[in-house]
Amino acid sequence: MSARGVSARLALVAGVVAAAPGERVLEVGCGAGVLVTALAAAVGDGRVVAVDRSARMVEAAARRNRAAVEEGRVRLVAAALVDAELGHESFDAVVAVDVRAFWTPPAPEWDVVARVLAPGGRVVLGASVMRAGDADRVRAETARAAGERGFAVTAAAQVGTVPFPTATIELRRPGDG
């Protein structure tokens, strides 16, 4: 972990997301809110909505991001993505790290992403690579599940983070840029 508490893996994913000031970002599986902090700093006066199925993790994320929550720049939701109340919000980016649901059939999370992702938006997934072939398998399964909902892989990489390498996958709707 760095001095700011962001692991090399989360810093890598934040860099791939490349959130810009004013953007709206949805993080799925936010855990204790470490990536939420980095995303909120990047979007400035934009907005981060973070979802996690664990109320305990959402409480930890709320403590970590108290100021941004109080300012209304971060909203935390304790629910599985498919059950989360997102209203009519749309997002410029959706990000998830080690959320197996995105590459494990039937992957209904992609239906939610297809509904809330703004035109031109991007999806960035990060996955820990624990065994040889994991990155290729995750990329293929993600491409299949996302492809059924109109998304295509636009970039993929693997970086030697510690303790495990991290695979990143970026997806967009074809024609969205």
Percent of the chain at pLDDT > 70 equals 97
Q: 1 pLDDT exceeds 90?
A: no
Q: How far apart are the C-alpha atoms of 83 and 165, rounded to whole Å? A: 31
The domains of the chain are located at 8-172
Class of domain 8-172: alpha beta
- pLDDT (tens digit, 9 = 90+) per residue, 52-66? 999 999 999 999 999
When the pLDDT of each residue in the chain is averaged and rounded to a whole number, the result is 94
ω into residue 21 within 30 of 0, thus cis? no
The mean per-residue pLDDT over the stretch 139-159 comes to: 96
Q: What is the pLDDT of residue 4?
A: 56
Tokens of 117: 């992702």
Q: Taking a C-beta distance cutoff of 8 angstroms, is the pair 34, 5 a contact?
A: yes
According to the model, what pLDDT value does residue 52 have? 98
Q: Return the residue matching tokens 């998830």.
A: 96
**Residue 175 confidence class, pLDDT cut points 50, 70, 90:** confident
pLDDT of residue 173: 95
Q: What is the mean pLDDT of residues 72-99?
A: 97
Contacts of 156 (CB under 8 A, 6+ apart): 135, 139, 167, 168, 169, 170
Tell how strand 24-28 and strand 91-97 pair up: parallel
**In this predicted model, what pLDDT tens digit does every residue of 88-118 receive, in sequence order?**
999 999 999 999 999 999 999 999 999 999 9
Q: What is the CA radius of gyration of the chain?
A: 15
* pLDDT band with cut points at 50, 70 and 90 for residue 70: very high
pLDDT greater than 90 at residue 3: no
